[in-house]
Amino acid sequence: MKKCSAIILAAGEGKRMKSKHSKVSHKICGKPMVQYVVNSVKGAMIDDVAVVVGHRAEEVKGCIKGDVTFVLQEKQAGTGHAVMCCEQFLEGKKGTTLVLYGDTPLISKDTIKDLVAFHNENNFSSTVLTANFKDPAGYGRIVRDTSGNIQRIIEDKDATEKEREIKEINSGIYCFDTEELIDALKQLHNDNSQGEYYLTDTLGIIKRKGLKVGAFLVKDSDEVVGINSRIQLADVAGMIRAATVRKLMADGVTIIDPGAVYIDADVSVGMDTIIYPGTVIEGHTKIGEDCIIGPGARIVDSIIRDGVEINHSVVLQSEVKSNTHVGPFAYIRPESVIGENVKIGDFVEVKKSSVGSYTKVSHLTYIGDSEVGENVNFGCGTITVNYDGKKKNKTIIGDNAFIGCNTNLIAPVKVNDDSYIAAGSTITDEVPEGSLAIARERQTVKEGWVKKKNLERRKK
C-alpha cells in the first residue's frame, strides 16, 4: 500500500460560533471536536498527521492528545492557504495525502480507510468524499459534467442559482497524490467572494491538467456533517450521544430512557447496570457492573466499582468501591476514595478524603481532608473542621470509631481505633484507642425557673 499522511485543518476562527474560543476546541460529549478527527485518522492506521493551527493556536494545541505535528498558519487566508503552510511537512513525500477539516467530527475510521483504498485502487490524482444532502446550504457543491465526471467544486457563496440546486456536497475530506497536491497549491488564487485561497479549487486545477479526479460517495451522510454554528454543535452532540447509549445498551446496560441521560463518548459502563433518567456521566468515568445510577446523578471522571448505587448525587474525580450506597443528595468532591459497603447518606459532603469499608455516614455530615477507617459510624451532623482560616488540616479517624451526633472534630486531630465520642462534643485533642471522649458543657437545670421569671407560654 502507498504511504499515507494526513493534514487536519484547525486554524480557522469559526466566526459563526460567536465564541471567544477556537471552534475546533469546543467539546462534544466530553471531547474537543478536533480530537474526534484525530482519533478517526489514527484509527485508520495513518500515523503521520499534521494539524494546522492558527487562531488561538495554543488553545487548539492544548486540547489535542496524540502524536501529531503542529503547523502554524499565522493568517487564516483560506483552506487552500492552510494546506500551503504544510509545505515543509509535505516536502519530499510521495504517495497519498489525506486532508480533513477539524470541524467534521463524525467521520469514521472505516470511511477514511474506504476513501483511501478507493483513491489508490482507481489511480486518481485527487478524490473527494461527497454526500447527498437534502439541505446542502452552506456547503461546497460538486459540479459534474454531462457524462457524470466530477469537474470542480463550487463554494456556496460563489455558486449560481442553478449550482445551488445541486444536492451533492463536498465533505471537506479528500485524498491527493502528494506531488500533484503540492503542484496544484502553487496555482491557487484568491479571486472569489471571500478573497480566500480555497483548497476546493485544487480539484479543478488537477482535472484541467488532464489527470483523473474521483468522487467517493459516503455511505452514511451524517458522518460528514460540518459544524459551523452552535446549532450544528448541538445537532452533532445529539448524534454522538445517541450512538453512545445505543452501544452501551447493546453491551448489556439498561437505560430506562435513552433520551434522558447524557453520557460522554469515553464513558464505560458494565453489564446489568441500570441508568435512570436525569443522569449525567462525564469525561473518562468508568462504571462497573450491577450498579444503579440515578435518577439525577452527575458523575465526572470517576471510577465506580460494581454494585454501587448513586442516587441524586454528585461525584467528581473520585473512586467509589463495590456495593457502596451514595445519596440521595450527597456530594463527593475530587480526590476522594470511598471504600466498599459504605453508606454515604443525605446531605453528606466528602472532600479529598478516604473512607474505609463498612463505614456509615448517614446524614448531614462534612468530611474534608480526612482519613477515615473501616466500620466507623458517623452520627448525624458531624463536621471535620479542616480550615483554620489559613490552611487546611487533616483529621484521622481509626477503625470502629463511633462519632456521636453533632460532633466537631477540630483538625489537625486524631481519633484512634475503637473509641467513642459523645454527641455534641467539640474535639480538639487526640482521642486514645478504646476510650470515650466527652467535650461539652455539663447540663445545668434550674427548677421552677419559668414560673419565677413569669415566662409561661401555655395558651390562656
Chain contacts with Ca ion (rule: CB under 5 A):
103, 226, 228
Residue with smaller CB distance to ligand UD1, 39 or 362: 39
Residue with smaller CB distance to ligand UD1, 26 or 305: 26
Residue of the chain from 25, 35, 79, 354 that contacts ligand UD1 (CB under 6 A): 79
Using CB under 6 A as the binding rule, the residues of this chain from 98 to 157 that contact ligand UD1 are 101-104, 139-140, 153, 155
Task: Please tell me whether residue 379 binds ligand UD1 under the rule CB under 6 A.
Answer: no
Active-site residue, selected from the candidate residues 81, 312, 325, 363:
363
Task: Please tell me whether residue 226 binds ligand UD1 under the rule CB under 6 A.
Answer: yes
**Which letter, b or e, does each residue of 188-200 get, where b requires 16 or more Cβ atoms within 10 Å of its Cβ?**
beeebeeebbbbb
What does 24 bind: ligand UD1, Ca ion, none (CB cut-off 5 to 8 Å by kind)? ligand UD1
User: Amino acid identity, residue 16?
Assistant: R
| Dihedral sign, Cα of residue 233, residue 235, residue 241, residue 246 | negative
Task: Please tell me whether residue 52 binds ligand UD1 under the rule CB under 6 A.
Answer: yes
User: Residue 292 corresponds to which cell in the numbers above?
Assistant: 444503579
Question: Can 363 be counted among the known catalytic residues?
Answer: yes
Rg (CA), the chain: 31
Residue of the chain from 40, 126, 170, 178 that contacts ligand UD1 (CB under 6 A): 170
Residue 4 to residue 116: CA distance in whole angstroms: 8
| Dihedral sign, Cα of residue 92, residue 97, residue 99, residue 105 | negative
What does 12 bind: ligand UD1, Ca ion, none (CB cut-off 5 to 8 Å by kind)? ligand UD1
Secondary structure of residue 81 in the 3-state scheme: helix
Task: Please tell me whether residue 341 binds ligand UD1 under the rule CB under 6 A.
Answer: no
- Measure the N-to-C terminal CA separation of the chain; round to a whole number of Å: 100
Residue 448 to residue 268: CA distance in whole angstroms: 67
Give the range of 7-15, 42-50, 279-287, 322-330 binding ligand UD1 by CB under 6 A.
7-15
Q: How many helices (H) and strands (E) does the chain have?
A: 10, 39
H/E run at residue 28: strand 27-28
Residue 248 to residue 289: CA distance in whole angstroms: 12
Task: Supply the minimum distance, in Å, between the C-beta of residue 113 and ligand UD1.
Answer: 20
Residue of the chain from 4, 7, 9, 99 that contacts ligand UD1 (CB under 6 A): 9
Residue 418 to residue 375: CA distance in whole angstroms: 10
Give the range of 71-79, 119-127, 160-168, 379-387 binding ligand UD1 by CB under 6 A.
71-79
Residue 101 to residue 25: CA distance in whole angstroms: 13
Give the range of 75-83, 160-168, 397-405, 413-421 binding ligand UD1 by CB under 6 A.
75-83
Cα 289 to chain centroid distance, Å, stands at 22
- Give the nearest residue (CB) to ligand UD1: 140
Residue with smaller CB distance to ligand UD1, 103 or 301: 103
Residue with smaller CB distance to ligand UD1, 56 or 325: 56
What does 170 bind: Ca ion, ligand UD1, none (CB cut-off 5 to 8 Å by kind)? ligand UD1
Task: Please tell me whether residue 40 binds ligand UD1 under the rule CB under 6 A.
Answer: no
Task: Supply the minimum distance, in Å, between the C-beta of residue 84 and ligand UD1.
Answer: 10
Residue 290 to residue 271: CA distance in whole angstroms: 7
Task: Supply the minimum distance, in Å, between the C-beta of residue 217 and ligand UD1.
Answer: 14
Residue of the chain from 29, 51, 57, 82 that contacts ligand UD1 (CB under 6 A): 82
Quick one: which of 283, 276, 288, 322 has its CA closest to 299?
A: 283
Residue 49 to residue 62: CA distance in whole angstroms: 16
The beta strand positions in 317-376, using DSSP E, are 319-320, 325-326, 331-332, 337-338, 343-351, 354-355, 360-368, 370-372
Task: Please tell me whether residue 216 binds ligand UD1 under the rule CB under 6 A.
Answer: no
Residue 231 to residue 226: CA distance in whole angstroms: 11
* Active site members: 363
Residues that bind ligand UD1 (CB under 6 A): 9-12, 24, 52, 54, 73, 76-79, 81-82, 101-104, 139-140, 153, 155, 169-172, 198-200, 226, 228
